[in-house]
Structure 1
């Protein structure tokens, strides 16, 4: 079953269960998927949907930080609930050790030798690790690997 189909089925079950938070988040996700498909005139595959979910999660994390800084815990809690629903659609994330090993392999393959090669390594890492790992952690691992 494709990820888009799973999201549609989950929306139906959220409607039946009258789970308004889950339903609203899934509708938001479906709207983002549809918007991207219409704008680019393409049909999104599972990897593109995962990338879109990652983008929405990053927006949620930024909003949570802003709301907590502004002392608006009610809005931060709502964003956290939405982030939890979105996280359920992501594949299992790589551990820190797995990220380190993958980055070391990419650095060796690309022949990167210093901080000037950061873009080359991150380009390869994005294609290989997108959706599997938090790209912020990957970036930190690449910086650490290239500064040695």
Structure 2
């Protein structure tokens, strides 16, 4: 079963259960997948990996919105964003812990032989395929920066 089929079936189940947050979140995720399919010159069916990327992008939007609402003192809106984020995270690979991420970064640094901030691009290029959606790009960049400075 593809990720898109799974999203549709889960949305139907959420509608039957009258789970408004889950239904709305899955509906928005499916809309984002559909938009990605029709973007560009020709419509195409997304692969499971591409669907994962769309969901990851939606999750990042929720994370950033929750932070913005927290900063503005709008906790009720931040809580809504976090609830949607929790639903989306069920469809993403398990996120790397800080220790696991640090290990991958250290391996990439030794592979590339990079030293200092000038090698950050090389290290990022080496570590991104290994991370593959299991950590936010900002977290990866921060880990690489810390390892190269320390």
Q: TM-score, normalised by structure 2?
A: 0.89
The CA distance in 2 between the partners of 1:69 and 1:132, in whole Å, is: 26
Number of the residue aligned with 1:37: 37
Number of the residue aligned with 1:136: 138
Number of the residue aligned with 1:7: 7
The CA distance in 2 between the partners of 1:76 and 1:145, in whole Å, is: 32
Number of the residue aligned with 1:77: 79
Q: Where does structure 2 lack aligned partners over 5 or more consecutive residues? A: none
Number of the residue aligned with 2:17: 17
| Structure 1 residue 50 displacement after superposition | 2.0
Between stretches 60-69 and 79-88, larger displacement belongs to: 60-69
1:91 equivalent in alignment to 2:132 = no
Residues 98/32 of structure 1: CA separation in 2 closer, same or farther (3 Å cut): same
1:28 equivalent in alignment to 2:15 = no
Q: Spell out structure 1 runs of 4+ moving beyond 3 A.
A: none
The CA distance in 1 between the partners of 2:83 and 2:30, in whole Å, is: 17
1:58-117: per-residue Cα shift (whole Å, max 9, x none)?
A: 211221122223222222221111111111111111221111111111112222122111
| Structure 1 residue 139 displacement after superposition | 1.3
| Structure 1 residue 143 displacement after superposition | 0.8
